[in-house]
Amino acid sequence: CKAVFTSVESADLASTLAVLKRSGNLEPFQRDILLLSIYDSLKHRKPAITDASDLTDTIIQQTIGKQSATISTEHISQTAHAVLSKFDHAAAVHYQAYFLD
């Protein structure tokens, strides 16, 4: 029996990306916070966790590609809403009601 080892590499966004909160505080970026808000908006779908994970990656890619090392929560929220609007109207409405100012 042969052992197979794999590794998945990903950027450590918490150490390279800061989020500017509405209060003016800077905090490390946490993918899980974004993932949970997207998942909450997609609960009506059967593959909600898979969709949420994939959409979170898309949102991060679109957000990082246009910003410096500091990103505002407003920008993240607006990008998330735009991505959800293209994917699922009901999820976008839910996100707007609970996570977008």
Give the integer Cα–Cα distance in Å for 5 and 14.
26
Helix/strand/coil for 24: coil
Segment-wise mean pLDDT, segments of 10 residues, the chain, 101 residues? 58 76 93 96 94 96 79 93 97 93 65
Would you state the structure tokens that stand for residue 76, as one six-digit string? 């993240």
Task: Give yes or no for a contact between 63 and 83, defined as CB atoms under 8 angstroms apart.
Answer: no
Give the integer Cα–Cα distance in Å for 25 and 74.
13
Residue 43, Cβ neighbours under 10 Å: how many? 11
The whole-number pLDDT of residue 54 equals 96
The whole-number pLDDT of residue 3 equals 57
Q: Would you say how long the chain is, in residues? A: 101
pTM of the model: 0.82
Give the integer Cα–Cα distance in Å for 58 and 52.
10
The whole-number pLDDT of residue 21 equals 92
